[in-house]
Structure 1
Amino acid sequence: MMSANFLKSRTRALTGGDSLNRPIAIDLFCGSGAVTTAMKEDGYRVVAAVDMNRICGVTYRKNHPEVLFRKKDIRSLQPSELLVAIPKGKKLKLMAVCAPCQPFSSQNRRRGASDTRAPLILESVRLARALKPQLIIYENVPGIVASAIFQRLKRSLASAGYILGNPQRVDAADFGVPQRRVRCIVAAIRAPGRIKDFVVPAQGAERVTVRDALADLRPLSSGERDPHDLLHTSRAHHEITLRRLAAIPQDGGSRDSLPPELQLECHRNRNKGDFCDVYGRMRWDSVAPTLTTGCTDVTRGRYAHPRDDRAITLREAARLQTFPDWYQFAGNRSEIAEQIGNAVPVEMFRRLVAILRKSYPEL
């Protein structure tokens, strides 16, 4: 079982020396660098990454200074800008593609082709034609499979010499992440007869819990901070919020326990259980709910601490996304929360890459 000590003790992946002999990888739509971290931890040498978000770029460079980072809209990116990062005589083994998932999310009313971000994932094919990675791994929400874009992706990859495998629905909680987060993983490979080899095996029932990830962190009151960890700072809650949190039972309680005078006006006269995650507390011995960009706001979901009368901190959110404690984030608090909430859980992707390496030893 992974414990908080695991998160604290993980060391930085090699950036030189022995890393020069590692297989080569590239990270498209890299965000703040969670996938790069996962690939490096599993033995890859990430040589280039792309993202158009300025703050994500600052964070990425802080943690992966040896990687060629291109802050650019992928639609205007030329393959030559990435080819220069691949060492002479080396082949690109793996290309990770974690395109924006909002266009395919059930929570997005503009989902599908009407969302201008939807076709961005197709740019990976244009780059694959020039970079020729041996394998491509796509990570997105399950909703992408039913989209017209997914069918276009499959056809475009085939014309570029790649076969897209069957989509695999996975839950991060089954891959060492103390969080429930259902995703879609699909791989494309240039060796058509081999793609069927990649099947995500059933994982063990034992899960990493909120207690495993957070219990060793300093207890905090509203507005208090850990002097040794700036990310472990509680937001200062309004007095009415504190009264509500005090009335909600610890370890999994919900707003259904609020007396009438503390209920939110918009929640009154609704059925019991509606929107129960708002103001809800996490459970110590379960996994956390899916983190979003509002993961440090109790009005945005079940993001209250299991014990303390406050929302979880940025440090706690980063732990639940399995970022190592040494990871540095740039930006203000809302920008950091957005980076953490949008990230691919590091440990989930590391384990998936390990499965890929086992399926395809040449990678």
Structure 2
Amino acid sequence: MARQTVVPPTPLDRPIEAIDLFCGAGGLSHGLARQGVKVVAGFDLDPACKYPYMANHPGAKFVEGDVAKVTGQQLTALWSPNAVRLLAGCAPCQPFSSYANTATVDKTKWRLLMEFARLVEECSPDLVTMENVPRLLGTAPFKTFLRALKKGKYKVAHGVVNAADYGAPQQRKRLVLVASKLGPVSLPEPTHKGPAQWVTVRQAVGDLPSLVDGQQCVEDSLHIASALSPLNRKRIRASRPGGTWRDWPDELVAECHKRESGKHSAGVYGRMEWDKPAPTMTTLCNGYGNGRFGHPKQHRGISLREAAIFQSFPSDYRFVGDGEPVVIKTLARLIGNAVPPKLGEAVARSLHASIGAGKAGVAK
């Protein structure tokens, strides 16, 4: 009998398996999974991420620990032998955030991007993706990361995109990078092109139960609004959607805003507008005084559930266990730091297209 030749599967025939570094509550993983990527593991140093990650990604392993102590060999052992291997991640971006004071920021966190580059070099995945703040573009750490990809023979595309262009009900500009060894790659094509197609605050959360400040919804523990001080209750009643504290009576204006140095800080104590996307969710998005985080109609700041929906998490995404207390500060941090799942979906489509283009090129 003649010996049968075994033909290895082509990249398009093999499943994509992802490892999500700095996975947080699982926003990127969730988006990838919704587009058919099998997420095998998420790594994060923050123990608060464990419950939401595992509850929403039961097939993935959560590894609590410092990425700097992880080896390429450990990652390689998590991927199946015939899988298309994707290494994904969003290294903590505080050093590059527009909110950071560059004189006092902890620059040791810059090393985490370098650890990401090290792991790419050590395990040589087929695909790589990264999301971060726009200010990272052009910095020395980002240039070093690009050099590592070039050395590894990756085709790379990167640029600043707006999550609203991919269906997230939020204006959120982020630096996105996609890299592939399997074919040419490009940034994901927008699915919601411009303001006329963007998802609005009204469309996203207009049907949620009404709350007053300090109240928690009985049916959904995450639908909880922070309590306001008596002064802030007066302020939010004096605020209009899209307006600023300049609309208030003088007695409600904070002393810091009356000084010359504070007159340009019009983005705080604001209400959202019903028929526009929400502003960028931050780790302080639960606080009315921390940005334009006031509800368009109800006299309160947005709830944690509303913030999660603005990040494009589904309305049933689990952040706490049944009967467990909701720690607002902790969950606001997890939600604000997350990669919007809709952005993760767009990245997955781009990577699938890269594999298809690569196979088409081989066929020629």
Provide TM-score, normalisation by structure 1.
0.86
Q: Aligned pair 1:341/2:331, yes or no? A: no
CA contact (8 A) 2:164 2:170 kept: yes
**Alignment-derived partner of residue 279 in structure 2:** 289
Query: Separation in 2 of the partners of 1:287 and 1:261?
Result: 31
**Alignment-derived partner of residue 4 in structure 2:** none
Query: Separation in 1 of the partners of 2:187 and 2:174?
Result: 15
CA contact (8 A) 2:187 2:347 kept: no
Please state how far the C-alpha of 1:270 moved relative to its aligned partner. 4.1
For structure 1, the residue ranges without an aligned partner over 5 or more in a row are 1-20
**Alignment-derived partner of residue 246 in structure 1:** 237
Query: Separation in 1 of the partners of 2:340 and 2:135?
Result: 19
Helix, strand or coil: the match of 1:226? Answer: coil
Query: Separation in 1 of the partners of 2:180 and 2:15?
Result: 20
Query: Separation in 2 of the partners of 1:212 and 1:287?
Result: 9
Deviations 1:14-55 (A, max 9, x none): xxxxxxx74211111111111111111000111112111111
Q: Aligned pair 1:351/2:343, yes or no? A: no
In structure 2, relative to structure 1, the CA distance for the partners of 1:29 and 1:111 (3 Å cut) is farther
Please state how far the C-alpha of 1:166 moved relative to its aligned partner. 3.9
CA contact (8 A) 2:269 2:292 kept: yes
Please state how far the C-alpha of 1:113 moved relative to its aligned partner. 10
Helix, strand or coil: the match of 1:360? Answer: helix
**Alignment-derived partner of residue 13 in structure 1:** none
Please state how far the C-alpha of 1:84 moved relative to its aligned partner. 2.8
After TM superposition, the structure 1 stretch with the greater mean CA deviation from structure 2, 33-42 or 103-112, is 103-112
Please state how far the C-alpha of 1:355 moved relative to its aligned partner. 2.6
In structure 2, relative to structure 1, the CA distance for the partners of 1:239 and 1:113 (3 Å cut) is closer
**Larger-Rg structure:** 2
Amino acid at match of 2:101: R
Query: Separation in 1 of the partners of 2:106 and 2:170?
Result: 31
After TM superposition, the structure 1 stretch with the greater mean CA deviation from structure 2, 280-289 or 224-233, is 224-233
Provide the aligned length of Structure 1 versus Structure 2: 337
**Alignment-derived partner of residue 144 in structure 1:** 136
CA RMSD in angstroms comes to 2.3
Q: Aligned pair 1:198/2:186, yes or no? A: yes
From 29, 37, 41, give the equivalent of 1:44: 37
**Alignment-derived partner of residue 29 in structure 1:** 22
Where do residues 6-85 of structure 1 align in structure 2 (5 Å cutoff)?
A: 22-85=15-78
Please state how far the C-alpha of 1:92 moved relative to its aligned partner. 3.6
**Alignment-derived partner of residue 91 in structure 1:** 83
In structure 2, relative to structure 1, the CA distance for the partners of 1:112 and 1:270 (3 Å cut) is closer
Query: Separation in 1 of the partners of 2:347 and 2:237?
Result: 40
Query: Separation in 2 of the partners of 1:302 and 1:90?
Result: 48
Please state how far the C-alpha of 1:224 moved relative to its aligned partner. 2.3
Amino acid at match of 1:332: V
Query: Separation in 2 of the partners of 1:46 and 1:328?
Result: 18
Identity between Structure 1 and Structure 2 (%)? 35
Deviations 1:310-359 (A, max 9, x none): 00000100110011122111461110000000001111221232133123
CA contact (8 A) 1:179 1:320 kept: yes
Deviations 1:230-286 (A, max 9, x none): 11122221111111111112x323211110111111112449962222110000000
Deviations 1:124-152 (A, max 9, x none): 23322343321101111121121111121
Where do residues 182-197 of structure 1 align in structure 2 (5 Å cutoff)?
A: 182-191=173-182, 194-195=183-184, 197=185
Q: Aligned pair 1:178/2:149, yes or no? A: no
CA contact (8 A) 2:166 2:190 kept: no
Query: Separation in 2 of the partners of 1:271 and 1:259?
Result: 20
For structure 2, the residue ranges without an aligned partner over 5 or more in a row are 1-13, 321-325, 360-364
In structure 2, relative to structure 1, the CA distance for the partners of 1:111 and 1:269 (3 Å cut) is closer
